[in-house]
Every structure is written in structure tokens, then in C-alpha cells.
Structure 1
Amino acid sequence: MRLSELGEKEIVNLDNGARMGLLIDADIVFDKETGKIHSLIAPERKIGFKFLGIEQNGIEIPWSAIRKIGYDMIIVEFDS
């Protein structure tokens, strides 16, 4: 699978069914020494603060929390 194919996948939390956004909008944190993916940082989906110009932190999802990468979504098991 190519990275370009992953970008449009929706990140969905198995724990509560919440849609956490698209992978293309998330940041990927790599381990500098090994090159392995450490975690994803999904942006928070709260609209009110965005209009006020307040920058928000995202939700960090450990790579180990990913349970399945499907055709159109990425399932994570993450207690947020």
C-alpha cells in the first residue's frame, strides 16, 4: 500500500465509535534512530476555537493502538 492511498482514510476509534479525522490531516511521529512510526497526531475536531485563532493540540494515538487498516478507514483502539 502506498502512502498516497492512506491519506484519504478516516481514523475511527473502536472504543467509542468516534471519527477522529482523515489521516491526511494528521501528523506522523517517527523514531529518528529506527525510522519506525511512533504515533499519529490527529487534529481535534472542535470548530469554535478555530474561528478564534486559538491553536489546539491534537490527540496523540500510539502506533500500537492501530487495530486494522481497511479499505476506507483506519480502526484504532484508543481510550480518549
Structure 2
Amino acid sequence: MRLSELSGKEIVDVKKAERLGVLGQTDLEINEGTGQIQALLIPSLKWFGFRKQGVEIRVPWQHIKKIGSDMIIIDVPEED
């Protein structure tokens, strides 16, 4: 799958049944040595289209359960 094919897909948390963002408005954490995507970095607050610095949700790649035609389903374990 190409990165351009991921762009525009909604990111949905399966446990909370909530929309976290849209890929394209998120950042990717990439391993410089291997070129593999390590995590999605999703800004959690926006104000008039601007990101609030330092506030983001990090979703490790292994928590992505399914990439569909319209959305990416993630399953992040609850923090204790």
C-alpha cells in the first residue's frame, strides 16, 4: 500500500467507538534505518485549524487492526 492511498482515511478507535482524526492531518513516526512506519501521531486538540503544540496521541503501528477503504481501525490497550 502506498502512503497516498492512506491519506484521507478516518482513524477510529474500536474500543471507544470514536473518531480520532484523519490521516493527512496526522504525522507519521518513521524508523530512519528501516523506513518502516513506527506510529501515527494524532493531534488531539485543534483550534481554528491550528495544532496545539505538544498535545498528541501516539498510536504504535502494531495497534492498527484493519485498514479499510474509508477508515483505519485501531485497538489501543487501556492504560492502567
Aligned-residue identity in percent: 41
More helix by share: 1
SS in 2 for 1:25: coil
Tell me which residue corresponds to 1:23.
23
Deviation at 1:20, TM superposition (A): 0.4
Given the two structures, how large is their TM-score scaled by the length of structure 1? 0.82
More strand by share: 2
Aligned-pair Cα RMSD in Å: 2.0
Number of residue equivalences: 76
Q: Which one of 62, 65, 68 corresponds to residue 66 of structure 2?
A: 68
Offset at residue 41 of structure 1 (A): 0.3
Counterpart residue number, 1:34: 34
In the superposition, relative to structure 1, how do residues 10 and 54 fare at CA in structure 2: closer, same or farther (>3 Å)? closer
1:3 aligned partner: 3
TM-score normalised over the length of structure 2: 0.82
Unaligned runs of 5+ in 1: none
Q: 1:70 to 1:55 in 2, by over 3 A?
A: same
Give the unaligned 5+ runs of structure 2: none
Runs of 4+ in structure 1 over 4 Å off: none
User: What is the Cα deviation at residue 5 of structure 1?
Assistant: 2.1
